[in-house]
Amino acid sequence: NTLSVMHCMTKLSNIMQTGTIAVIGSVAGDRGRKSNYLYGASKAAIDTYTSGLRQKLANTGLHVMTIKPGFIESPMTRNMQKRCLWRTPKQIAPIIKHAILKQKRSIYVPSFWRYIMLVIKLMP
């Protein structure tokens, strides 16, 4: 969840001349929770690594983007109860594609997660 992503990003950044490396993290990396702190820690590490790599490559033709999805239907979330905050991969794919074309640095998908996580990070 962490080292393999970092390894792939490093390899790609060494062989690619132009383009975008888009990395899927998670909103879980914004704040640790007792129920999934290991997962959150791995996603926080990806976010920090991606930020540093983005800075390193700032003056090259290579762009690095972090994608922070909220609740997405997937095999990992198969047994969870789905509610209004959930999205499918087909729903978020166009948002991610648009962000890659606009060369965004970091995005929350759907975008309302930015505000949810802001509130959560401000809570004691």
Catalytic residue list: 39
Determine the Cα angle at 1 with ends 91 and 59, to 5°: 80
Token code pair at residue 95: 């948002």
Per residue in 53-87, is it b (16+ CB within 10 Å) or e — as a string? bbeeeeeeebbbbbbbbbbbeeeeeeeeeeeeeeb
**Cα(123)–Cα(52) distance, integer angstroms:** 27
Tell me if 113 sits within 8 A of 27, measured CB to CB: yes
